[in-house]
Amino acid sequence: MEIMISTDFFSGQISGDAVRTTRTVADLALHWTNREQYEIQKGKILYETESWFPHPDGTEGAVLWASTKIFPGKVGDQHFMTRGHWHLKPTHGELIIVASGTGELVLKSRDGTITKVALAPGVTFHINGDLAHRTINTGTDPLIFWCAWPADCGHDYSDPSLIGEWK
């Protein structure tokens, strides 16, 4: 088992063997309404994640955790945001803690009801496992936050109802 050495809360950095990923505007291609602006901005970095997997994804009872940094920006009138997903196990929720920046946590129920939670430094929130969730940077600085979730929650990014803006 790998041992996490340390994290830097405010920058979102995890030392050691964190898994680092970068998403560009093009990775969320179908989510942007303004296609002209999309073509101009599709190469921009949208967000970066650093994830810590003390056990493999899917391990029952394990807790995984990651930081996400969403850069400020817009495609047309849509702010930079994460893809959003469902957990396959509705009892398996997620914790979010905001380190810096401002934005919104957007929650979507199976009946389409949208709930928005304002994000600012120090905000903590428990996301119920039966709600789809995505985060949006509505500010002018990077939005940096931490999430922890059960490794066996399962992720569904493919539901067509999650494509585009949630409103």
Q: Which residue is nearest to Fe ion (CB)?
A: 94
For residue 47, how many other CB atoms are within 10 A of its CB?
A: 23
> In angstroms, what is the minimal distance from the CB of 158 to Fe ion?
14
> In angstroms, what is the minimal distance from the CB of 83 to Fe ion?
10
CA dihedral 12, 13, 17, 18 (to 10 degrees): 20
Does the footprint of Fe ion cover residue 50 (CB under 5 A)? no
**Measured from the CB atom, is 16 or 90 closer to Fe ion?**
90
**Residue 158: which residues within 8 A CB-CB, separation 6 or more?**
none
| Integer Cα distance of 126 and 49 in angstroms | 20
For residue 161, how many other CB atoms are within 10 A of its CB?
A: 11
> In angstroms, what is the minimal distance from the CB of 51 to Fe ion?
12
> In angstroms, what is the minimal distance from the CB of 129 to Fe ion?
8
**Measured from the CB atom, is 50 or 94 closer to Fe ion?**
94
Please give the residues from 91 up to 120 whose contact with Fe ion meets the rule CB under 5 A.
Answer: 94
Q: Which residues bind Fe ion (CB under 5 A)?
A: 94
